[in-house]
Structure 1
Amino acid sequence: MEDFLETSQDLLFLYAPKVITALLILFIGLYAIKIIIKSSRKLMQKRGVDITLQKFLGNLIGWILKVLLFITVISQLGVATTSFAAIIAAAGLAIGLALQGSLGNFAGGVLIMIFKPIKIGDFIEAQGESGTVKEIEIFTTKLNTPDNKEVIIPNGALSNGNIVNYSTEATRRVDFTFGVGYDSDIRKTKEIIFNVINNHPLILKEPATAVNLSELADSSINFFTRAWVKKEDYWTVKFDVIEQTKEALDAAGIDIPYPHRVNINKTE
């Protein structure tokens, strides 16, 4: 029993300072990492670095510093860094195979940063989802959908798939199709549609608006209309023009065909 107590005391005196020092290094290191990341972001802001790249580099710097801190803490506890490096090297293949997806996502994040197909604030469509880019992290990209849901897309899939970026260009084209009855006057219908569009304050004068007879359908003649707007006005104009055109056609007595249901089971 005395030998056990003496051995315990020896181990306590031997390892207690190392454990305390390691904990101090850990807490101080984590605090220092926060300061470094914050300072690096301020520096990038002063240099005018894009906000998307700021956040990505901030996350990357944080991960690298935390790994270095972990190695430092482990070495302080008496684990030889050479042995630790050998363990990492031996396990590297297994880890690489297990984390193929994560490594692919990391590579995808790097590619997004290099080629910049998207940035924070862009409204995009990718991987079957649509939304505003909220954040591009090391492994994933976060979108906010129009109905305020958060969608997380792996960077690997995002960088290797098709991306539709609605925010790249300053203007967008709004397309409409209006169908009217075969008895309607073509010139009068076109004039009404033109008037609605030309009187809308958010529709651009250049490029010019186009209204063309596009199809002789089964129950209607269809007019295809193209108008150009600023990208931020797209949905406002689309909803306004549809409503105002319907009202204008009704006021002019121009019929908009729709399916009619006939009840054939009439009783005498």
Structure 2
Amino acid sequence: MDQQATDFIVATRSALSQASALAVQYSFSIVGAMLLLLVGWALSVLVRRWAHNGLLQVRGIDETLARFFANFIRYAVLLLVFIAVLGQFGVQTASIIAALGAAGLAIGLALQGTLQNIAAGIMLLVLRPFRVGEYIETGNISGTIQEVGLFATELRTPDGLYRLAPNSTLWNVPITNFSRESTRRFALTIGIGYEDDIDIAQNLMRELAERDPRVLADPPVSTFVSELADSAVVLTMWYWTSAADFWPTSRDMIKAAKLAFDENGISIPFPQVTYNSSAPLITSPPEKAKREKA
């Protein structure tokens, strides 16, 4: 009994000694990990703010893109801090990094379409083929840009509808931006009768454009015969306006041209076909045979 009691006391003292040693050891690790977390958290906030403000100073960097890269840098710093904290407790960080890499690969494969939209959104924000307030048109999408996000772009159609387009659908197709350039050219095309005076019609069209204050003097207005159609001589006039005046000017110019032509006796013919009644009637052999038989 005395020997067993002695062995129990010795084992208890050994266990308590080891527990106290482990408590002292891990207490320092815990305190160090907490300090590392606090310092890492504060450092990530400072780095995010510095990166955000720095990116905004770069020309062409959008607010959304600056916020995305700033948050990405912050989370990268927090990830490094987390790995360093695990290293305080003796965890093999190499295996953790390998596991995170494998998990990231699996997540990337699962979210391939989403990541494609993110990549397209970043490219759209960097290259800026369109901005908020500009009117664009692609093969299937048209509208005024309301917001450019990392996943999708919000548009408003001309008839007032809301449209959400994934960024990948805008990045992989040609885009026509109707608002990017400050000036635009309008081509007014009108057909007149073959019996009408071409010079008078061209002068009327030119005078209408030159009298309109919204039409730019440079480049100058130009008129020419663009086609000799079946029923009309097609006249075309080119003039330039600001992008904001393009649509109202074009509508007003079409109406004014019609009124001016009516006042000056210039006709705008409709398609017609002329038949010569004196020409012999040509029939196919079967029809001719039937007539002779009758």
* Deviations 1:232-266 (CA, angstroms, capped at 9, x unpaired): 110011101000000110111111112579xxxxx
Among candidates 182, 188, 195, match of residue 200 of structure 2: 188
Match of residue 142 from structure 1? 154
Whether contact under 8 Å (1:178, 1:223) holds in the other structure is yes
The question of 1:243 aligning with 2:252 is answered no
Match of residue 179 from structure 1? 191
The one-letter amino acid paired with 1:55 is: T
The 3 A distance-change label for structure 1 pair 45 and 233 is farther
The 3 A distance-change label for structure 1 pair 60 and 152 is farther
Greater alpha carbon shift after TM alignment, 153-162 vs 184-193: 153-162
How do 1:101-180 residues align onto structure 2 when only pairs under 5 Å count?
Answer: 101-180=113-192
The one-letter amino acid paired with 1:57 is: A
Whether contact under 8 Å (1:143, 1:150) holds in the other structure is yes
Match of residue 63 from structure 2? 54
Whether contact under 8 Å (1:203, 1:227) holds in the other structure is yes
Whether contact under 8 Å (1:180, 1:256) holds in the other structure is yes
| Count of equivalent residues | 224
CA RMSD of aligned residues (A): 3.6
The 3 A distance-change label for structure 1 pair 84 and 140 is farther
The one-letter amino acid paired with 1:207 is: P
Greater alpha carbon shift after TM alignment, 231-240 vs 97-106: 97-106
Unaligned runs of 5+ in 2: 1-40, 86-90, 274-294
* Deviations 1:75-103 (CA, angstroms, capped at 9, x unpaired): 9xxxx9x7987765444333222221111
The structure number with the bigger radius of gyration is: 2
Distance in structure 1 (CA, Å) of the matches to 2:238 and 2:175: 24
* Superposed displacement of residue 174, structure 1: 0.6
Distance in structure 1 (CA, Å) of the matches to 2:214 and 2:163: 31
Q: Higher relative CO (CA 8 A, sep ≥ 6), structure 1 or 2?
A: 1
Whether contact under 8 Å (1:56, 1:136) holds in the other structure is no
Whether contact under 8 Å (1:127, 1:158) holds in the other structure is no
Distance in structure 2 (CA, Å) of the matches to 1:253 and 1:131: 41
The one-letter amino acid paired with 1:256 is: I
The question of 1:234 aligning with 2:246 is answered yes
How do 1:4-153 residues align onto structure 2 when only pairs under 5 Å count?
Answer: 47=57, 53-58=62-67, 61=70, 88-153=100-165
The one-letter amino acid paired with 2:206 is: F
> What secondary structure does 1:194 align onto?
helix
The question of 1:200 aligning with 2:212 is answered yes
Whether contact under 8 Å (2:52, 2:69) holds in the other structure is no
Distance in structure 2 (CA, Å) of the matches to 1:64 and 1:146: 39
Identity of aligned residues (%): 34
Match of residue 222 from structure 1? 234
Whether contact under 8 Å (2:56, 2:62) holds in the other structure is no
> What secondary structure does 1:228 align onto?
strand
The 3 A distance-change label for structure 1 pair 145 and 59 is farther
Distance in structure 1 (CA, Å) of the matches to 2:55 and 2:123: 22
Unaligned runs of 5+ in 1: 1-28, 262-268
Match of residue 26 from structure 1? none
The 3 A distance-change label for structure 1 pair 47 and 64 is closer
* Superposed displacement of residue 225, structure 1: 1.2
TM-score in terms of structure 2 length: 0.63
Whether contact under 8 Å (1:180, 1:255) holds in the other structure is yes
* Deviations 1:12-61 (CA, angstroms, capped at 9, x unpaired): xxxxxxxxxxxxxxxxx9xxx9xx99x899958985866x7013333565
Distance in structure 2 (CA, Å) of the matches to 1:127 and 1:180: 34
Distance in structure 2 (CA, Å) of the matches to 1:124 and 1:232: 14
* Superposed displacement of residue 196, structure 1: 1.1
Whether contact under 8 Å (2:192, 2:266) holds in the other structure is yes
The one-letter amino acid paired with 1:145 is: T
* Superposed displacement of residue 219, structure 1: 0.7
